[in-house]
Structure 1
Amino acid sequence: MNNRTALSAPAVELSHEAVVDWITAFLAEILDITPNEIDPSTPLDHLGVDSATTLVICAGFREELGIQVRPRDVFDHFTADALARRLTGPLTGTGPLPAGV
């Protein structure tokens, strides 16, 4: 089953809250602000996230959490909350795939 728009599943299951916390901490480091300054419902472009930053976010997911996230996935779920919901949501035909698929 090859779905080019799907996210890859992490090696361990992550909670929505853990993924939101990771995203806000990661963005805070990149943007040189505190995680408390990031509202998880704020569109990422309002935080200054652009296509280059999106690539850094995808690399961070892969390196730190073992999750393969494509730039299109970030753009389609363009808040920390929406992206975390997508990553931790129930598996469906278009849901996460095992890493390397």
Structure 2
Amino acid sequence: MSIAPDTRTPLDRRSAADLVPWLTERVAFHLHTTPEEIDPDTPLADYGIDSVAAISVCGEIEERYRIPVAPTIAYDYPTVRAITDHLAERLSAEGRS
């Protein structure tokens, strides 16, 4: 039996701009809409994101990029762009990017 390779990319090898399309798609999925309907600069609260969706997005960030994030990240950084900028800055400060 063959095991599929791990295709997740550590966040420290990605820029904030690289993350925007992926995070936009995940947010759209949880809001039951299309990525084209999500503006990276519009507060997620304006789209009606609830705590379940926000925590789900948080878990997906942790799983895909293998870094811990606060379950309140969608509220602390209220837009897709703010979240991705925060993650990139945090890793840069840690010297991992």
The TM-score normalised by the length of structure 2 is 0.74
Matched, 1:91 2:93: yes
| Structure having the larger proportion of residues in helix | 2
SS of the equivalent of 2:68 reads: coil
**Deviation readout 1:25-76 (Å, 9 max, x if unpaired):** 1011122221111100110111121211111011111122222211233311
Taking only aligned residues, the RMSD between alpha carbons, in angstroms, comes to: 2.1
Question: How many pairs were matched up?
Answer: 85
Contact 2:44 2:74 in 1 (8 A): no
Gaps of 5+ in 2: 1-9
User: 2: distance between equivalents of 1:50 and 1:71?
Assistant: 12
Which structure ranks higher in relative contact order (CA pairs < 8 Å, sequence separation ≥ 6)?
1
Q: CA deviation at 1:11?
A: 5.6
Q: Which structure is larger by alpha-carbon Rg, 1 or 2?
A: 2
The TM-score normalised by the length of structure 1 is 0.72
Counterpart of 1:60 in structure 2 is 60
Structure 2 letter corresponding to 1:74: A
